[in-house]
Structure 1
Amino acid sequence: MAKAPKGTIAIEEAVLNPDGIAWMAESATLFNPGQDASKAGSANHGHTPQLLDIHGARLAQMDAHGVEYMLLSLTSPGAQGEPDRAKARRLAADANDWLATQVAANPARFGAFASVSMHDAADAAAEARRAVRDLGMFGVMLNDYQVVAEGGNEEGKKYYDAPEFRPFWQAVDDLGVPVYMHPRYPPAKDLVPRTRYGDRKQILGAAVQFHLDLSMHLYALCSSGIFDLYPRLQVVAGHLGEGIPFNLWRADHWYNKPVKKATRPSKHDYSYYFTHNISITTSGDFSTAGLKFCIGAIGVDRCLFSIDYPYDTIEEAQDWWKTVDLPADEKEAVARGNAIRLFKLPLEL
């Protein structure tokens, strides 16, 4: 396949393997609250056709609007939404095998993130190694916390700042690939009446709930000391860093007070990790003022372009990007150069 002219590189771009249609349909009414809930189990999610497509309309839109390359990932929640350990492991492995064949059909335009089940750190590490070393994937995509079965119909959550996940982070560090932290809808137990979101479903999803939940997980990772153990480790967060860059001054101000500093698990404050270990992308947050603020807060080398297709359109993202008035070298870095360096993509700088 011929390579495309230099353009943008988009790195939070979702796909769905055909085997995933059933579990994807489970979140259809959360994405589209007007849909009949009684039909949620059989109805397709509104974006199913676009998620299934890679080489047709998606590629045509990339060509039409100047997207040079996409890093693809299984749409949220993927394996993180499966409470059964064995099913989650199979879900991730099958999705990785399918996505690797799709990328192999046009590696000049597409690369991929690995899916992993986070029920068990050893399982996650093994699948990450297989996906990167054997399938040629450029990183790991995690859809926030892992839902786990707790008995009966109850579902619990695992967060990756816990010590049990250090073998996973060690494996990723050894592989030298980034981990992309992506949001997800809450599990069923958080949607019943008189729970945090059960009576407030209007704030579910990308506008509010996604960044509220995922920002907590990112703060937890930064403050856990995991980046002190593995200082080369790199994590990426979309949607302009889930809002964290705009709160860094206040977060650091309190985290650095003596009463906190004496007992905190990490050596450094949040700004340190956001300038050494965390990168952010523009996925689904096409704000020029916001991007410029992030560049000022964490540095241009930590900011990357992204779209969030198909949940946002290629055309809208590219039309916005054309209006962004950054210095030419900074715009080139955000558009493509930073992604090539961070993910070690097989593209020319």
Structure 2
Amino acid sequence: MSTPAGLIDVHHHAVPPLYAEALGDRKAIPGVDYPDWTPEQSLEVMDAHGIAAAVLSITAPGVTFLDGPDAPKMARRVNEYLAGLVREHPKRFGAFAILPLPDVAAARDELRYSMDELGLDGAGLLTSYGRRYLGDPEFEPLLAEIAERGAAVHVHPAAPPSRDLETFDLPASLYEFTFETTRTAASLLFNGVLDRLPDLRLILSHAGGTLPFLARRLTHGPTIGAYLKDRVPADVIGTLGRLHYDIAMSANEFALPALTRLAGAGRILYGSDYPFMPAAHTAENTAGFAAYDGWTEAERAEVGRANALRLLPALAARLAG
């Protein structure tokens, strides 16, 4: 198998200097070493692995470490920084706007500015804010506006909001991130958000966490608890199958068969997780993507490039220009 030319990486993080300075000594993700990053380093890794363009995003904790008006101010500065990189490298970088949740009003303002004025490619959300996951009714007006715009949303896990969980002194990103993605998807499912907003274009990180493995189990909600009878979607599997999934940290023989069975190759996108996963992992994940024998070569080209371009028309236009 060969790697299709011109991969589009939808899970690629930026660490703007102004953001890193504000974060200071705080751990962005508990237990995770914070990487050094420059745009030039990203371009070097991209060139080495056939990545034509990367859509940049800010990982956890977003701007949640800031209080009051400082959070939207930092989101604005970061989005303007990202927009500057896109202007400087229009055929190499796209960007998902960071939004200052849990302040929904401020997040809607920043969504409008980042898309209408800055021309960013979509929005980046975390799986939870405080103890509220994305299916919380408080967030639905924002999600409805995003859906109305037809914008893509990259959903990245955050550290679990509960500090009572036993994590065995292991980094949250080692395994809890997968459960956080599953939790936010379950909240969206059973709160009816995905039924009410069928056009919401969500990209779930890391092959959807544990969703491919648990998809059939989630259909048994009303069997386990009759009170869920009126809350379960009519077609849980079909609803999960219309979401999109990146394969950061997941392009391997264990994850890809289940994900492909759930979503089909038309809903899967390439991702590297650089620089929070190092260049060596980009090589490993790209090799796993190229070697997987469960796709035709046409499907591999969809996963590697075409699916992302369908979701991200502004990026597609820049690449075609």
Same fold (TM over 0.5): yes
Equivalent position amino acid for 1:273 in 2: T
Equivalent position amino acid for 2:301 in 1: E
In the alignment, does 2:298 pair up with 1:329?
yes
Structure with larger Rg? 1
Q: 1:29 to 1:123 in 2, by over 3 A?
A: closer
Asked if structure 1 preserves the Cα contact closer than 8 Å seen for 2:207 and 2:250, the reply is yes
Equivalent position amino acid for 2:127 in 1: D
Equivalent position amino acid for 1:340 in 2: L
Aligned residue for 2:286?
318
Report sequence identity in percent: 27
How many residue pairs match? The answer is 309
In the alignment, does 2:6 pair up with 1:23?
no
Asked if structure 2 preserves the Cα contact closer than 8 Å seen for 1:122 and 1:167, the reply is no
Aligned residue for 2:169?
201
Task: Provide the secondary structure at the position in 2 that maps to 1:77.
Answer: coil
Structure 2 CA distance for aligned equivalents of residues 176 and 164 of structure 1: 20
Instruction: Give 1:288 deviation, angstroms.
Output: 3.1
Structure 2 CA distance for aligned equivalents of residues 85 and 263 of structure 1: 38
Aligned residue for 2:211?
244
Structure 2 CA distance for aligned equivalents of residues 86 and 29 of structure 1: 23
Q: 1:8 to 1:228 in 2, by over 3 A?
A: same
Structure 1 length-normalised TM: 0.82
Q: 1:200 to 1:301 in 2, by over 3 A?
A: same
In the alignment, does 2:55 pair up with 1:71?
yes
Instruction: In structure 2, list runs of 5 or more residues that go unmatched.
Output: none
In structure 1, which of residues 75, 94, 109 is the aligned counterpart of residue 92 of structure 2? 109
Q: Which ranges of 4 or more aligned residues in structure 1 deviate by more than 4 Å?
A: 255-258
Q: 1:59 to 1:255 in 2, by over 3 A?
A: farther
Task: Provide the secondary structure at the position in 2 that maps to 1:236.
Answer: strand
Aligned residue for 2:115?
132
Task: Provide the secondary structure at the position in 1 that maps to 2:172.
Answer: coil
In the alignment, does 2:152 pair up with 1:178?
yes
Aligned residue for 1:283?
248
Instruction: Give 1:29 deviation, angstroms.
Output: 8.4
Structure 2 CA distance for aligned equivalents of residues 117 and 258 of structure 1: 35
Q: Which has the higher contact order (CA 8 A, sep 6+)?
A: 2
Asked if structure 2 preserves the Cα contact closer than 8 Å seen for 1:129 and 1:171, the reply is no
Asked if structure 2 preserves the Cα contact closer than 8 Å seen for 1:228 and 1:267, the reply is yes
Asked if structure 2 preserves the Cα contact closer than 8 Å seen for 1:85 and 1:119, the reply is no
Asked if structure 1 preserves the Cα contact closer than 8 Å seen for 2:95 and 2:120, the reply is yes
Structure 2 CA distance for aligned equivalents of residues 136 and 318 of structure 1: 29
Structure 2 length-normalised TM: 0.88
Q: 1:257 to 1:208 in 2, by over 3 A?
A: closer
Residues 1-349 of structure 1: pairs in structure 2 closer than 5 A? 6-21=5-20, 22-23=22-23, 25-27=25-27, 30-32=30-32, 46-47=34-35, 49-50=36-37, 53-54=38-39, 56-79=40-63, 81-82=64-65, 84-147=67-130, 157-186=131-160, 190=163, 195-197=164-166, 200-202=168-170, 204-255=171-222, 259-260=226-227, 262-264=229-231, 266-276=232-242, 278-312=243-277, 313=279, 314-325=282-293, 326-344=295-313, 345-346=315-316, 347=319
Structure 1 CA distance for aligned equivalents of residues 28 and 306 of structure 2: 36
Equivalent position amino acid for 1:86 in 2: P
Asked if structure 1 preserves the Cα contact closer than 8 Å seen for 2:133 and 2:183, the reply is no
Aligned residue for 1:40?
none
Q: 1:201 to 1:257 in 2, by over 3 A?
A: closer
Q: 1:10 to 1:24 in 2, by over 3 A?
A: farther
Structure 2 CA distance for aligned equivalents of residues 306 and 169 of structure 1: 23
Instruction: Give 1:230 deviation, angstroms.
Output: 1.9
